[in-house]
Structure 1
Amino acid sequence: MAVLDDLRAFNIEEAHIVLWVFRGPRGSAVELPSYTGRWVQTDQAVDQRLRTAFSNERDRIQETMEYSLLAENNEASALRIEKDETHAGIVIFSSGEEVETKRARSESDLVNTNFYAIKATHGESVIYAVRQADRSWKSRHRRSLRSTFIMREHELTVDDTPRFDIHDGVNFFVVGDQLLINGKKQFESILRYKAAHVSDFDSLKAEAEFSGIFSDVAPLDEHIRNNKIQLRRAQAIRQKGHYRDVAFMQRLRDNYIHFGFQIEFDDQGLIVPTPETCSEIITALLDHRLSSAFSENIYDVQNTTTVAV
């Protein structure tokens, strides 16, 4: 909870606020992402709106949970992950100091922003609060969004002032060497976490211990590769490593029918993936089908925690 304590103790009301806008990530899936950042001069009203967004999201968090590929936070929690496990450091490096060469000077510098970061500094402490930009920042939507009707001096008129929306919350915080994540989907998009999953899945397939349990890994590759949820599960399979456990794999062969799996094995005991059984194979390798000793029912579970008895 130390990181949450640090976030709660941060004096946002007296902090110096700078709004940074970013385009990116750029680069291929096998390269480190790159970002282009510019800082935006803001008035007191905007700064207060940014402070409110920071505070709203911070006040919502009552507890933290360890980030995992399958973990989901609720309305009162945030996922915690080490900064070094993400590309957050690249974003911070892309912002740096508020020098003139990085100042946003026109509307064109803001259009097509992918996300923005509230850089809050108080004393020696710096916290970044990051939010994915909505459609008001995208060029293809700007024409319709700029035609806004407002009441002015008892008369309805058209306001064509360029508009960029600042929301009442953020998707994640960077606090020291850790991240607290409220919006997992947005976090993974901004920091290109799916690309990391693809790379990890390629490494998993290259492991002889993994590919060696299948007669042909191609159907599983097709099932997983372009699906972010399945890529998360594949990485969780690698982290758990049950496929490396000879005893685990033998118990799977001995008990798969009892647990209701339709998985196929060849004469050598290798798993034969098919489009119909790939999801069951993933469930089995995650050890996510469990039997209750009390009800004697069999359940699929989203996550598992080992209990010491």
Structure 2
Amino acid sequence: MTDFLDWRGFNYQEANVQLWVFKKSATDARFRAWHVRTDEIIETLFRQTIMESIVKTTEAIGYSPISQNNESSCLTHSLAESDGLTALLGAVDAPETENTDAQLKHIKGAAGYLVKFQYGNNTVYAVRKTAPSWRPKVRSSLINAVFQNGALSATPEESFYFDSYFDFYCINETVFVKSKRAYESTMSEKKIYQKNFEDLVVDPDFNSIFSDIQPLKEYVGTNAIHLRRITVIQSKALYLRPNFPQRLQHVNQSRGFGLNFDDSGKLVVCENTAKTVMQVLLDHRLLSEITEIIYDVPDAEAV
């Protein structure tokens, strides 16, 4: 929790502010970043934005592929767990000789922007995914106008809109995520989940509990939520426990889960049972000892 307290207690009011825009790169660097010159008014607005967000964030929840936060909380994990963010910070922290000031063409179509708050020897990074209005194709269909002296007039000047919040932050070695969807999209986390799924379905230990893995592959497909769940299934690895298929078959019969097994005791997955199969592999089908009602839950925390 030390980094969480440092993030909340950081001296943003007196911090030096730098704005960077970045685009994704197909190279090993993964990102290209450019420094954007700003005036004191913009920098003050960035300070206000981050301070207002932090005041509302009073709780840190451990990050997992299927965990969710609310308006007053954030998801947190180690920076070392995000190759994407590590690469982005490396791009904006490169020596000045390797960085150049942004031109208009760099700002147009930027994947996101990053604001560095530096005070003393400490730095907070705040990142936001850009709105669709930053994309060249969208911008070409817009008319820039300004309301002045009681009339609306077209202006050739380019305008860019900054939201009054950030998607995620980093201080020291910890990441704080406010918008999980934006974080995973910007850092290309879905590609990691897809790779985890591809690895899991060819794992002999995982394959061995199914009569045919193909129906499960078709159910998961490229669905982002299912891919996140698969990553958790891979991490928990309940299927590696001794006698897991036999235990599951026993519980299925006693609790009426509706799962199907072939003559050799292997799971038979179909369109009607795929969701339940995912829930039991996640260990998210739970029995209330108070009401004796069985529930499917989105996440589970051991007590």
TM-score normalised by the chain length of structure 2:
0.94
Question: In the alignment, which residue of structure 2 is the partner of 1:88?
Answer: 85
Residue identity in the other structure for 2:10:
F
1:110-189 matched pairs, under 5 angstroms: 110-150=107-147, 152-189=148-185
1:98 and 1:157 mapped to 2: Cα distance? 43
| Shift in Å, 1:183 | 0.3
1:95-150 deviation digits (Å, cap 9, x = unpaired): 12473663334321210001110011111101110000002211111134442241
Contact 1:129–1:173, Cα closer than 8 Å, also in 2: yes
Stretches of structure 2 that go unaligned for 5 or more consecutive residues are none
2:229 and 2:258 mapped to 1: Cα distance? 19
Contact 1:20–1:95, Cα closer than 8 Å, also in 2: yes
| Shift in Å, 1:179 | 0.2
Question: In the alignment, which residue of structure 1 is the partner of 2:281?
Answer: 285
| 2:204 equivalent to 1:201 | no
Q: Secondary structure at the match of 2:268?
A: coil
1:276 and 1:155 mapped to 2: Cα distance? 61
Q: Secondary structure at the match of 1:55?
A: helix
Higher mean C-alpha displacement, 246-255 vs 175-184: 246-255
Stretches of structure 1 that go unaligned for 5 or more consecutive residues are none
1:79 and 1:33 mapped to 2: Cα distance? 26
Q: Secondary structure at the match of 2:185?
A: helix
1:73-104 deviation digits (Å, cap 9, x = unpaired): 01100000111111211001111247366333
1:191-250 deviation digits (Å, cap 9, x = unpaired): 111111111122222322111101111111122130110011111111111111134432
Return the match for 1:74 from 63, 70, 78. Answer: 70
Question: In the alignment, which residue of structure 1 is the partner of 2:96?
Answer: 99
Contact 2:245–2:265, Cα closer than 8 Å, also in 1: no
Higher mean C-alpha displacement, 246-255 vs 83-92: 246-255
1:188–1:283 Cα change, 3 Å: same
2:151 and 2:285 mapped to 1: Cα distance? 65
Q: Secondary structure at the match of 2:160?
A: coil
Q: Secondary structure at the match of 1:295?
A: coil
Q: Secondary structure at the match of 1:130?
A: strand
Contact 1:146–1:163, Cα closer than 8 Å, also in 2: no
1:58 and 1:242 mapped to 2: Cα distance? 38
Q: Secondary structure at the match of 1:299?
A: strand
Question: In the alignment, which residue of structure 2 is the partner of 1:214?
Answer: 210
Contact 1:25–1:192, Cα closer than 8 Å, also in 2: no
Residue identity in the other structure for 2:50:
F
| 2:14 equivalent to 1:17 | no
Q: Secondary structure at the match of 1:246?
A: coil
Q: Secondary structure at the match of 1:236?
A: helix
Q: Secondary structure at the match of 1:206?
A: coil
Higher mean C-alpha displacement, 136-145 vs 1-10: 136-145
1:33-68 deviation digits (Å, cap 9, x = unpaired): 711110101111111121122212222210100001
Question: In the alignment, which residue of structure 2 is the partner of 1:2?
Answer: 2
Superposed structure 1 runs of 4+ greater than 4 Å apart: none
| 2:16 equivalent to 1:34 | no
Report % sequence identity: 28
Question: In the alignment, which residue of structure 2 is the partner of 1:254?
Answer: 250
Question: In the alignment, which residue of structure 2 is the partner of 1:57?
Answer: 53
Higher mean C-alpha displacement, 103-112 vs 68-77: 103-112
Contact 2:114–2:125, Cα closer than 8 Å, also in 1: yes
Residue identity in the other structure for 1:81:
H
2:98 and 2:153 mapped to 1: Cα distance? 38
Q: Secondary structure at the match of 2:201?
A: helix
1:275-304 deviation digits (Å, cap 9, x = unpaired): 222111101111111111211111111112
Q: Secondary structure at the match of 1:302?
A: coil
TM-score normalised by the chain length of structure 1:
0.92
1:284–1:25 Cα change, 3 Å: farther
